[in-house]
Structure 1
């Protein structure tokens, strides 16, 4: 493995919340890294499961944080959700919108008719995050879904990372309707393919790289789409989550933040590491055999455990350096 991770790819798909920013703050390293990607002439696409904002609002937010962005670079789960509906319904079909004005606008833009009440006889329900939703919205959707309406969820993220911490995401509200209807929605956003496929197609690319902080959406979506992925440790999921990741939620690389795009491929790849050895038995035993950082230890641990098992595992360090690395990773 020679060269930087970025060298192998003709578009980078960036998750936003927890990867590029947390609420109104850029995550460490994001500005420099994305500027460098642009500087090397590699297209970027911002793929967000947040369906509460129109694409222009996402652009404005990114520009306000100091980044360059254009509407063509933004793919939202609201767009993907509306596109799924448009593929399945004839033009003029009535769709009950449980979500923001941005989601309503996307439904209208694709020739469907947004409504807000069961009495309007909707043939489908589309659900996206909005902080203005109330009981009535879910009651109307519940009636429509129970009556046989097609149900599309823009995304299923149970939490949303902000500068204040994790907040309820659309997935938490999807669970409310799932419990009330005994039905499951079609999901347009990550980890399902519509959102990612749309982003790659818009760039005319065939060697994409997905970059994100969540195993169950960003990384699982990349796995389903058959594309490589880089996990960054700036958002929801932790080193412990990564080590215990299910088969369909495992990235090829992991880095502290977006600056990992410019690291040598061999340094960020989840693989055996020269500075660390891992013994697999009833658990994992980590030992130091040279100068190495804690992320190298994490990559070595993941490589060893993923080849032997999955799920929860106990990890111990056999020397001072190994124990220090495990404490830093919070997986001792």
Structure 2
């Protein structure tokens, strides 16, 4: 018999929504969880948008979420950098979400023309990533800067298919430098700890619901939470069956609409 669920961490893209379109059953499921006083929060490995943009995006789909109920990999990266490099010059490669999160921690961010000062690099999804930026970040790492990345996700589910995520950009740098990054977002221990802090519950009473085995499910398992894979995103049942044990979910459901019946069956 599993422990009762008191709090849930939801991935967003591929789990609750696809692009700006809410997935079937999401609104009803979230409303029922609130009615039952089951706490929940949203955790996305996206690092490009600030929290206020996520609040607005969810609201536009009919989902009412407070800023304190949303975590991004940018927030986790900023917390990690403040912990391990609080006074170090940092080269940040990413969009407004990552840059704002780092500035909020009052970290020393260096410009590209001052890259020789950088002792750490933190990299997220950058819509302007090009050969020049590749050269800049590689130079910092070749000079000895420690390499961090918000995540290694290969692709994002959007309306009509997928788009490349942070991973391909990070992989280009890792391949060129021969240095693998320390990943701060899902499934890292830092992410699991932040998820637990937001829910305010013991890990055994928490549940992670997501569509990606190597991030959502792995984070939940690493943190000691229960895990459910939904089949509305990047992984299917065959992927789950073939996955290593640390990426294998406790349960698989077709989509978020099936979550409440699954909870009732525990």
Scaled to the shorter chain, the TM-score interval is over 0.9
1:105 alignment partner in structure 2: 100
What is the match of residue 231 of structure 2? 233
Map Cα deviations across residues 226-245 of structure 1 (whole Å, 9 max, x no partner): 11101111100012112212
| Structure 1 unaligned blocks of 5 or more | 270-332
Q: Tell me what 1:49 maps to.
A: 45
Which fold has the larger relative contact order, with Cα–Cα distance below 8 Å and residues 6 or more apart in sequence? 2
Task: Work out which of the residue numbers 2, 16, 26 in structure 2 matches 1:30.
Answer: 26
C-alpha distance in 1 between matches for 2:111 and 2:163: 25
| 1:141-163 residue CA offsets vs partner (Å, 9 max, x unmatched) | 10001111111101110111111
The answer as to 2:247 corresponding to 1:252 is no
Q: CA deviation at 1:265?
A: 5.1
Aligned-partner SS, 2:176: helix
Q: Is the 8 A contact 2:10 2:41 kept in 1?
A: yes
Displacement of 1:203: 2.5
Check conservation: 2:125, 2:165, Cα contact below 8 A: yes
Q: Is 2:78 the partner of 1:85?
A: no
Provide the residue aligned with 2:208 in structure 1. 210
Please report the TM-score for the alignment, with normalisation by the length of structure 1: 0.76
Distance 1:143 1:98 in 2: 13
Q: Deviations over 1:113-138 (max 9, x none)?
A: 22231634111111111322222222
Q: How far has the Cα of 1:28 moved from its partner? A: 1.5
- State the alpha-carbon separation in 2 of the partners of residues 39 and 231 from structure 1: 23
Specify every segment of 5 or more residues in structure 2 that has no aligned partner in the other structure, as ranges.
none
Work out the CA distance in 1 between the residues paired with 2:110 and 2:24: 42
Report the TM-score, using the length of structure 2 for normalisation.
0.94
Could you give the per-residue CA deviations for residues 255-275 of structure 1, whole angstroms, max 9, x where no partner exists?
Answer: 1111332124586x8xxxxxx
In 2, the alpha carbon distance for the partners of 1:257 and 1:17 equals 12
RMSD: 1.7
Q: 3-state DSSP class of the match of 2:127?
A: coil
Structure 1's 204 and 97: CA in aligned 2 closer, same or farther, altered over 3 A? Answer: same
